[in-house]
Structure 1
Amino acid sequence: MRIPPQTLEGWLRHCEQLHPKTIALGLERVRTVAQRLDLRFHCPVITVAGTNGKGSTCALLEAIAVQAGYRTGVYTSPHLVHFEERCRVHGETVKASDLIAHFEAVESARVQNGDEIPLTYFEFTTLAILRLLSQSLLDVAILEVGLGGRLDATNIIDADCAVITSIDLDHTEYLGPDRESIGREKAGILRMGRPAVLSDPVPPQSVLDHAREIGADLWLLGRDFNFSGDKQQWSWAGRGRRYTGLAFPALRGANQLLNAAGVLAALTALRERLPVSAQAIRNGLALVELPGRFQVVPGQPALVLDVAHNPHSVAALAANLDAMGFFPRTHAVFGAMADKDLPAMLAKVAPLIDRWYFTDLPTPRAASAAALQQQWQTWQCAAGQRPVPSSVHADPLQALQAAAAAAEPVDRIVVFGSFYTVGGVLVHGVPRLHARHADSANVD
């Protein structure tokens, strides 16, 4: 008889050993275990899918709902530093000890009468967090889809409202080679007769077609809701509601207005069950927080942390960096997964970068720092770009320390490429940099 783990760390190690694959899309196994758990929600559920903007959308929904006086539950993934970040109840990250009973319950449901259902790490942990949320007496649950939508573990829950943020190329080996294929997978979270909010200004036709086929209540940007603004404020209007003189979201970046517009559409669609006041919206926009999304850390040199990890999000990062104003030099700490479209990512941001610090990451899915540097040098030559120095480092913190050592006080450092890259810096606390004037090692 196996002795169950006693700690969250032990349970997470256990989850890593249950399935031969890291990602195994499909709902049959997860749904069977969920049925054994009698998993169900007794409050409105909002599910959020998309390529980029999911975390920001969930944070905005949560912040406004909390300001409206509702008890919220949020599930997001992945985490930056600690696993517990994936689950928040009423704005607070859950404690590790609060999760253990739910891991035990999932294991009991997974193994019955000698029959073991293999679950991936993501599937097991998703079920545990969903069970915790379902028993937390919530007024609203907000669930971020992990990958895709149709076959993602979160899709065992029939959401009362679905939000699909921007759609672009990522995880093509699982979701398909183009936006239409990927959109078709994302559209799998939509439900018949229920609100389907599309934040993407130009959604794939596959999403529109699926929504109409199943009879979802489609909310389209430009048709059912819209927004406008200037440098000081913005306004939103849609289906009988209008909000004017809104402050910009506390989350930085021009793309946050798209996310916020979709959030207001979702809340308007649910106003009969989840009414929110204009003041709650204003307060929520002002107070929302989300580490690692164009997070600017005060000090010298300036430090920007961003989990941008595909060409679309890196393009948004580049636009946001460009809007920051003039910096004599920009230093980039970069680590990424091996399956990413690195040339496309580099092309978006390379013109802004004066020095690269490539880093290893603590996962077998990551490209090594040396491999990233080699790909950068190959791309740099092929693209006819100006020579830019680079170095390799064993982890993100060492790479950041090297960047800080080389940077002038008036320079800028940007850390991006993966949740692991930003998390590898934040694990030691929010950095406070002090520029020095020494060269780092291993520069070519």
Structure 2
Amino acid sequence: MVTTPATADFDNLPAWLSHLESLHPKDIELGLERVQSVYNQLALNFSSSKVILIAGTNGKGTSCHLMQQILTAHGYSVGCYNSPHISDYRERVTLNTDWFSEQQHCQAFAAIEQARGETPLTYFEFGTLAAIYLLAQAKPDFILLEVGLGGRLDATNIVEPDLSVITTIDLDHQDWLGTNREVIGFEKAGIFRTKGLAVCGDLNPPDTVKQQALEKQLNIVWQQQDFHYQVEADTWSWQGQKSEFNHCIKPNMPLQNASTVLACFEQLNIRLNTDTVNQCFKSFQLAGRWQQIAHSPNVIIDVAHNPESIRFMREKLNQTQCSGKKIAVFGMLKDKDIKTVVESIKDSFELWLLADINQPRGAKATDLAEYLPKNAQVECFGSIEQAYQAAQQQASADDLIVVFGSFWVITDILTD
């Protein structure tokens, strides 16, 4: 059992992160045996916290942050783990929206290094264990854990949740999770616990999720069955089994996910103040989600990288006034559903500036171009930075530049 952090082999965060990258030959290796063995060595105590485990194809990050914001506004202390980060690794772990210090991260990494012994861990597994360590030490009222990939075999699933949440289920990470919603739904449902509390926010959940809920005798509520939302002209309303919110401000996120968040609070018997919730809706903004970073020309960044998130981005794009032309700066990972993503958004831009993502999983700009119509105006670049510079050079003040397709794309823009 580890009771105190080991003496750090490295005295700064970049050195630790470089170490993490060198530990395992793969970026992803699904399975809980190795992570579970290290976690058991840590002997962490979560008795002071309610743990909420959040899985889903889309909406995990926005749901986590909205939940954290609402809980914090009601006076609760809230720890949150999300991935990936955009500009700074410390974005991944927060306490009441504040980052932990570099020193605290280094201490957590040292604790995991001591506990793992010779056990190999991927970058994500090591970081997840360190995040869980930090949050367990902080002992907040609530701990929100965003599942990284799938659910059943994801490193976050080693923690026993008080509430399991599935936001949405769509095609993504098909090389790892499967090529249809039934198989992917089974993986997401791996975060359910026998006779536990759960929320499913998907509008049409696969039969595999329903079956898992039945077999595990869940106390579960379903979107459109046990809770509902209605979209009005400038507002929206929500009805649950015990409470309702009428004529609310629309937050900058899919209302389907905001509806799921409200259902989570009802499942946990948390009473909310309507004015406080509305203020949270009004101020909600998550970095990299339809975020404006410049004017004249307007520049929007969005990490959207799968069909569902692209559909939401397309809706926002259609609602955005633009008297000039719309320019896409676009890159994707090659293991994503590039064909469906491009098909959903191909008619929304007059100019496509495509970029290589210079990572092992990155797609080439020339490969992306194959999915666009033959008559589309397309230019290809060797990097995101080059494509973005070209957009700025070619755009006039009344144009709109939208940079999207991957966390890697947004990271390159914000750190340029």
Q: Which residue of 2 aligns with 1:320?
A: 316
**Cα distance in 2 between the residues matched to 1:153 and 1:302:** 39
**Cα distance in 2 between the residues matched to 1:64 and 1:399:** 38
Q: 1:132 aligns with which of 131, 134, 141?
A: 134
Q: Does 1:65 align with 2:71?
A: yes
Amino acid at match of 2:66: L
Q: Which residue of 2 aligns with 1:262?
A: 260
**What is the CA-CA distance between 1:53 and the residue it aligns to?**
0.9
Runs of 4+ in 1 over 4 A off after TM superposition: none
Write out per-residue CA displacement over residues 97-156 of structure 1, whole angstroms, 9 at most, x where no aligned residue.
221111001011001xxxx11111100110001000011120101110000000000000
Give the structure-2-normalised TM-score.
Answer: 0.94
Contiguous gaps of at least 5 residues in structure 1: 429-444
Q: 1:408 aligns with which of 396, 399, 415?
A: 396
**What is the CA-CA distance between 1:298 and the residue it aligns to?**
5.0
Amino acid at match of 1:185: E
| Secondary structure, aligned partner of 1:293 | coil
- Contact 2:54–2:166 (CA<8 Å) still a contact in 1? yes
Amino acid at match of 1:379: Y
Q: Which residue of 1 aligns with 2:365?
A: 372
* RMSD (CA atoms): 1.7
Q: Does 1:390 align with 2:382?
A: no
Q: Which residue of 2 aligns with 1:435?
A: none
Q: 2:290 aligns with which of 274, 291, 294?
A: 294
**Cα distance in 2 between the residues matched to 1:299 and 1:12:** 35
Superposition pairs of residues 17-416 of structure 1, within 5 angstroms: 17-42=22-47, 43-111=49-117, 116-249=118-251, 251-252=252-253, 256-271=254-269, 274-367=270-363, 371-376=364-369, 378-380=370-372, 383=373, 385-394=374-383, 396-416=384-404
Give the structure-1-normalised TM-score.
Answer: 0.89
Number of aligned residues: 409
**Cα distance in 2 between the residues matched to 1:227 and 1:313:** 19
**What is the CA-CA distance between 1:362 and the residue it aligns to?**
4.2
- Contact 1:48–1:162 (CA<8 Å) still a contact in 2? yes
**What is the CA-CA distance between 1:341 and the residue it aligns to?**
2.3
**What is the CA-CA distance between 1:347 and the residue it aligns to?**
1.0
**Cα distance in 2 between the residues matched to 1:200 and 1:22:** 29
Contiguous gaps of at least 5 residues in structure 2: 1-6
- Contact 2:350–2:376 (CA<8 Å) still a contact in 1? no
- Contact 1:233–1:247 (CA<8 Å) still a contact in 2? yes
Q: 2:21 aligns with which of 16, 37, 40?
A: 16
**Cα distance in 2 between the residues matched to 1:228 and 1:279:** 19
- Contact 1:192–1:217 (CA<8 Å) still a contact in 2? no
**Cα distance in 2 between the residues matched to 1:340 and 1:108:** 36
| Secondary structure, aligned partner of 1:332 | strand
